[in-house]
Chains A and B, each alone.
Chain A
């Protein structure tokens, strides 16, 4: 530990870093940041920095509002976008109460707590999300970049420049990527983050969202992770590939099984399926999230699994020959506007529950789920994902699994905050209603 601190202090000195940004995440998944000078760094690393938590979503407490942000020296990185003359560095923080106890409302702590549970069972949890997002001309309206005449750059130049810069910056921050260009939605893109342990990945998702937005802004455009910005077009998902390892053995893999899946893998999927409804409010936390989870846009709507069905909730990709150990499952409902710490926590918890209880894996879904009548689906035991935030919250509220996973503090805050959002929404008269009703009723 001492050596890590030395490394950070020495690097700050050698590189002439002027400011160190301390990053943490509120309960809703927004990145929070404050800067300290190198002079404050040593004591920040050793004792933490006191800050007022009352203005942070989900941190407020009646009794006390002061808390400590303790930087994690493992996450120290020079931030590449400020130029070399006055480099800026960042570190993710763990939040503690003044007494030095981890703060229950800190999403990073929630994830750490759940990873510890997995580790007690001998598992390391790896995730690899596919991040989808849109570029628009501004935050004012979802206007794609595809229209010609935008500044003096053509669309193609602009996009390839955005892409190049984003990838270079991600790699400079130690986030290796695979890029795939999307034509499904206008101006929609997908960048796949290569797998790593879930804690680092949650940090990476936070960094990723910032970098994508910053690069876009530097080119005078706007990037958004809103799940469904354009009606009638594909939404943005965060399909997340999950795997558990025991040591360096892939716990999901069994060469003798026709699906290549071990019992552990099957129980894990069964856990995800059985608790899918309960965790959806966390993986899809906005009212708009549910505009994406509809039929016809490759987003999952039914709770089922399949090997090669883009609409199944859980997909088991067939590993390439010779790469059998890359057996993993893909959970397709989350969207990129989730809080990654909490989303990874509930996915892990649902899967682990399946392993603990030895849930049986239902049969693979056939391709014609959409043609089945509701009765037929019911007979096959195929349920639906919640269709609105309100429904998702209702299911979550009675879930012991989610309460336990998030901890009382986050669980209560989350429900309260989201209920408020929903009640504001219900009071809103939408363009849909005006279009449809004003002229006829």
Chain B
């Protein structure tokens, strides 16, 4: 799960505590520039912006989140009763608001509802590619109706591939994005796991993961069929 953007930095202690207890990862930012810099690769899960102390800066953040190509949604605004008038003509900058001081349960419920409306959160996240189905909630993968028996790292690698189809990744990229830490296997681990995944996917589906010679791997079909420098042959380096 990607983190929520939280403003300001540091956030009010009760807000931090509520998010932690509800199990939402989050990251505090002090302005729009920091928000852009520290954005996770797959984007923010959403934003909780507290307007109590510095209303102008808070709306500034909201605006910057809305202006981008991929807007950050949902955005929840925390605002005191005395500031309600400020919301006028700014309806487009947030998805919902919550009166501050807030009740932790209310904040949690509003977030849950926002995520649900945005198709994130409480509904099981399902990733599908052809007849490969991954349920990110239950960690289960299946081909057609048949469940795949995967180890944790095989599952993580398949999940990464299935959520980033068609793009070509180098071994180093896969190692840092999927493993992210030093592993007994070293850099060759990627090849080894791809081979194991192919074996488990079975002959018919083994070419879901394609070797792009002297670059790395790609999941699924390329946009341009027949383009050069690609191969469905597993490269055997042993």
Residues of A near any B CB (own CB < 8 A): 3-4, 6-8, 10-11, 14-15, 73-78, 80, 112, 115, 119, 124, 126, 128, 171-172, 174-176, 194-197, 199-200, 241, 245, 247-248, 323, 325-326, 328
Q: Is the CB of B189 within 8 A of A197?
A: yes
Among the stretches B46-54, B89-97, B193-201, B223-231, the one at the interface with A is: B193-201
The one of A6, A119, A195, A325 in contact with B192, judged by C-beta atoms closer than 8 angstroms, is A195
Central interface residue in B151, B192, B198, B236, by most chain A CB within 10 Å: B151
The one of A14, A76, A126 in contact with B188, judged by C-beta atoms closer than 8 angstroms, is A126
Among the stretches B16-24, B72-80, B152-160, the one at the interface with A is: B152-160
- For the complex of A and B, 10 pairs with smallest distance between CB atoms: A124-B186, A248-B187, A78-B149, A195-B238, A171-B199, A197-B185, A174-B196, A7-B152, A196-B192, A176-B199
Q: Is the CB of B237 within 8 A of A174?
A: no
Q: Which residues of B contact A7 (CB under 8 A)?
A: 139, 152, 155
Q: Is the CB of A128 within 8 A of B238?
A: yes
Q: Which residues of A contact B198 (CB under 8 A)?
A: 176
Question: Residue of B at shortest CB range from A128?
Answer: B238
Q: Is the CB of B140 within 8 A of A74?
A: no
Q: Is the CB of A176 within 8 A of B140?
A: no
Q: A11-B139, A176-B196 in contact; A115/B184 too (CB < 8 A)? A: yes
Q: Is the CB of A328 within 8 A of B139?
A: no
9 contacts between A and B (CB under 8 A): A15-B147, A115-B184, A124-B187, A172-B200, A176-B195, A195-B188, A197-B186, A245-B186, A323-B236
Question: Residue of B at shortest CB range from A123?
Answer: B186
Interface residues on B, range: 20 to 34
Central interface residue in B138, B188, B200, B237, by most chain A CB within 10 Å: B237
Question: Residue of A at shortest CB range from B140?
Answer: A14
Q: Which residues of A contact B192 (CB under 8 A)?
A: 194-197, 200
Q: How far is the CB of A199 from chain B (nearest CB, A)?
A: 5
Q: A6-B139, A174-B200, A195-B238 in contact; A74/B151 too (CB < 8 A)? A: yes
Q: Is the CB of B138 within 8 A of A10?
A: yes
Central interface residue in A176, A326, A328, by most chain B CB within 10 Å: A176
Central interface residue in B152, B155, B195, B198, by most chain A CB within 10 Å: B152
Q: Is the CB of B188 within 8 A of A248?
A: yes
Q: How far is the CB of B52 from chain A (nearest CB, A)?
A: 34
Central interface residue in B172, B184, B198, by most chain A CB within 10 Å: B184
Could you tell me the distance between the alpha carbons of A195 and B182 in the complex, rounded to whole angstroms? 19
Q: Which residues of A contact B237 (CB under 8 A)?
A: 323, 325-326
Q: Which residues of B contact A128 (CB under 8 A)?
A: 238
B113 is an interface residue with CB less than 8 A from chain A: no
B171 is an interface residue with CB less than 8 A from chain A: yes
Q: Is the CB of B200 within 8 A of A171?
A: yes
Q: Is the CB of A74 within 8 A of B153?
A: yes
Extra A-B contacts (11), CB below 8 Å, given A73-B152, A174-B196, A194-B192: A7-B155, A75-B151, A80-B149, A124-B185, A172-B200, A174-B200, A197-B186, A200-B184, A241-B238, A245-B188, A326-B237
